[in-house]
Structure 1
Amino acid sequence: MAKTFDPFDRRSWYFGPISRQDATDLLMAERDGGVFLVRDSSSIPGDYVLCVKEDCKVCHYIINKVNEENDGTKYRIGDRYFADLPSLLSFYKLHYLDTTPLVRPATRKLEKVIAKHDFDGADPEDLPFKKNEVLTIMSKDEEQWWTARNSLGRIGAIPVPYIRPFEENSKDNATPTPNKPPSETSSQTSENLTPRRTCLEPNKDTYARVKQARVPNAYDDTALKLQVGDIIRVTKINISGQWEGELVMEGGKGGRKGHFPFTHVELIDYDPLTSSPNPTIQVPD
């Protein structure tokens, strides 16, 4: 088989924080030897693992990220050092690891999601979408931010709390709202995997209902006390999972403001002050 993959096409071979078992299962489903992927190390934050199908097994090679005082960052695999990951992959495209060189990246499983809410985007690398729009996941770069592609081929970053898995032929799937064609100057997502921002400003009038009671630490006067059924107007969605908001009192008046864990609430797709309740939308744990 011709070795034609592009070592500089990070999106083709970088699979992000998938587990060792998931990587093994994915590669064992491939027919050819030399099929590979790069994933994050689960035991050493910041390091990577090169996973390769060799013969009838999958080998996992640790790639250490080494900061040299004079030479900057290097990537070490075994006793060899490389300036970056594409250089490492280029070398093993021509040289054997154990029983095979690298032939091609693993085939990604097509994963689709559907939007629970509108997302207008705040940064050039964001991918705006409308409620019920179906998107294809390209990579899961961060816990709260993934890279996705819309039906027009535009690629960008999307917030995980705004989406849920898309199931074919499900009655819960509404007709997707088409997005506007991207302009010629629209930017695609950056491949820098460091956190892009600390928070996301939610759409106006974003509400959540408390599904799990919580009594905060008595010394934390910035945390909200939560009771099941409370309604919160969400004002900030932090990447850390600690959201910010304001309790809604009777008559629609604003109550105490503070932060709370997003796992204790579920977003609701209506304004509780002006609309009748509809089925709620579950925030993923």
Structure 2
Amino acid sequence: MAATLDPHDRSSWYFGQMSRQDATDLLMSEREGGVFLVRDSTSIQGDYVLCVREDNKVSHYIINKIQKDDQVQYRIGDQKFPDLASLLAFYKCHYLDTTPLVRPAPKRIEKVTAKYDFEGRDAEDLPFKRGEVLTIISKDEEQWWTARNSVGNTGSIPVPYVQKYEETPSVAPGAPSGASPAAKDAAAKPKVNLQRQLPADARVNKARVPNAYDKTALKLEVGDIIKVTKMNINGQWEGELNGKHGHFPFTHVDFVQDLQEGDAR
């Protein structure tokens, strides 16, 4: 089984952003000791965690990324390595606590459904249409993941524009009453055009009371008209309401022009 571990095949063992609990649950579902994965540290940006199934538990070993001048090293315990592949190759032949590394944990296929249209801005973006099903390849950042579409094209997608794929197929606009709530939500929302001419008026469709400590967030009441001045790709848009400039979630508004065009149809 040890031959199935290729330290240089990063895509096989690197799981990106993943919580400690999710890593534990995944590895505890494996019967074999030595099954492992590498995830990003949730406490120290830039560091990694080596998660390994050992006996009847999962061990989480912090991997510190140490940068001095132009040289980068990765430290685990009192051992230092020039890269992660060298670290994994070492522990393929040496014990951690009770086992060496045997093989990477299997990656479960994760799919998402597009809630809105995304036309993309850069060459590395993956454009998609509302209701399209995408396969997640990696969760590179909090707001940006890498995904693949049905024809094999890959690229970056904005996380706020997608939701977890439900086994019940999503339905196109005009979803029948038997459609899932997620599909109905996707069907009811006008598409988001990132190239829209701004400023533009939008009507609040959902009330929101912001955190008292967030002085830049706008308080929203259903029916309020916001003048949208900037559409940030992370889903937090900017605008003016009642003389105050601030930010708000794009999911809480509908552009007035879209609503009027919808009524006309």
Map of 1:72 onto structure 2: 71
| Paired letter, 1:90 | A
Deviation of 1:238 (Å): 4.7
Q: Give, in whole Å, the separation in 2 of the partners of 1:154 and 1:235.
A: 29
The verdict on how the C-alpha distance between 1:148 and 1:231 changes in structure 2, with shifts beyond 3 A counting, is farther
| Paired letter, 1:10 | R
Q: Give, in whole Å, the separation in 2 of the partners of 1:246 and 1:159.
A: 24
Q: Give, in whole Å, the separation in 2 of the partners of 1:208 and 1:94.
A: 62
CA contact (8 A) 1:115 1:163 kept: yes
SS at match of 2:261: coil
Map of 2:204 onto structure 1: 209
Map of 1:138 onto structure 2: 137
Q: Give, in whole Å, the separation in 1 of the partners of 2:89 and 2:256.
A: 48
Deviation of 1:136 (Å): 0.9
Map of 1:276 onto structure 2: 263
Map of 1:51 onto structure 2: 51
The verdict on how the C-alpha distance between 1:138 and 1:242 changes in structure 2, with shifts beyond 3 A counting, is same
Task: Give the structure-1-normalised TM-score.
Answer: 0.71
The verdict on how the C-alpha distance between 1:223 and 1:102 changes in structure 2, with shifts beyond 3 A counting, is closer
| Paired letter, 1:94 | C
CA contact (8 A) 1:236 1:244 kept: yes
Deviation of 1:116 (Å): 1.6
The verdict on how the C-alpha distance between 1:60 and 1:154 changes in structure 2, with shifts beyond 3 A counting, is same
CA contact (8 A) 1:3 1:102 kept: no
CA contact (8 A) 2:38 2:49 kept: yes
Map of 2:188 onto structure 1: none
Map of 1:29 onto structure 2: 29
- Give the unaligned 5+ runs of structure 2: 174-192
| Paired-residue identity, % | 59
Q: Give, in whole Å, the separation in 2 of the partners of 1:215 and 1:25.
A: 34
Residue in structure 1 matching 2:223, options 203, 224, 229: 229
Task: Give the structure-2-normalised TM-score.
Answer: 0.76
SS at match of 1:272: helix
Q: Give, in whole Å, the separation in 2 of the partners of 1:63 and 1:269.
A: 51
CA contact (8 A) 1:202 1:234 kept: no
CA RMSD between the two structures = 3.4
Residue in structure 1 matching 2:238, options 244, 247, 258: 244
1:102 paired to 2:101: yes
Q: Give, in whole Å, the separation in 2 of the partners of 1:228 and 1:237.
A: 22
Deviation of 1:202 (Å): 2.0
CA contact (8 A) 2:81 2:87 kept: yes
Deviation of 1:242 (Å): 3.6
SS at match of 2:15: coil
CA contact (8 A) 1:224 1:256 kept: no
Deviation of 1:55 (Å): 2.0
More divergent stretch after superposition (206-215 vs 130-139): 206-215
Map of 1:83 onto structure 2: 82
The verdict on how the C-alpha distance between 1:133 and 1:93 changes in structure 2, with shifts beyond 3 A counting, is same
Map of 2:19 onto structure 1: 19
Q: Give, in whole Å, the separation in 2 of the partners of 1:267 and 1:103.
A: 52
CA displacement, residues 238-276 of structure 1 (integer Å, 9 cap, x when unaligned): 54x6422466xxxxxxx9784313288256898123223
Q: Give, in whole Å, the separation in 1 of the partners of 2:48 and 2:203.
A: 37
1:6 paired to 2:6: yes
1:173 paired to 2:171: yes
The verdict on how the C-alpha distance between 1:85 and 1:267 changes in structure 2, with shifts beyond 3 A counting, is farther
SS at match of 2:92: helix
Q: Give, in whole Å, the separation in 1 of the partners of 2:167 and 2:256.
A: 22
CA displacement, residues 206-231 of structure 1 (integer Å, 9 cap, x when unaligned): 967352345899xx7x8655322335
The verdict on how the C-alpha distance between 1:234 and 1:167 changes in structure 2, with shifts beyond 3 A counting, is farther
Aligned length: 241
| Paired letter, 2:222 | V
SS at match of 1:62: strand
